[in-house]
Amino acid sequence: MPAKDVVYRYGTQLHQKLYTATGGRLFHRGRGMPMVKLTTTGRNSGQPRTIMATTPLVMGESLVLIASYGGDDREPQWCQNIRANGDVEVTVEGRTRRMKAHVASADERSELWPRVVSAAAFYADYQKKTAREIPVVVFDPA
């Protein structure tokens, strides 16, 4: 397993434990954005898979996450899980709810991407690091 994957896996596990233990009072923001505790269903295992991520856009009850993996050429596992099953659970600011997630269509992405980059310019840098188009993932109330 590449070192980046090991650091990501154990870093997100520690972050999740601290976030959960404090009811989201600590570690609830990252790079100025709200943190999201995201639980997907593993596309192969069928088991719950939980990660911590940031949301650069909160649109009413909907959220947007960016499947950048820091500009890696590989799509993050959580995004692949959503492609297989968009039924997810998210916790933001201590509030847990069921949501339906989907990878934005080309039209949605073209509308959302400028807003994402305006909110968090580093995503543009991540896009420059990879040949793949970084997915924009939209989460709506279930």
The contacts of residue 125 (CB under 8 Å, 6+ apart) are 71
pTM equals 0.86
pLDDT class of 93 with cuts at 50, 70, 90? confident
CB 33 within 8 A of CB 119: yes
| Beta-carbon-side half-sphere exposure of residue 56 (alpha carbons within 13 Å) | 19
Q: Output the pLDDT for position 33.
A: 81
More confident residue, 35 or 97: 97
**For the residues 24-39, what does the mean pLDDT come to?**
76
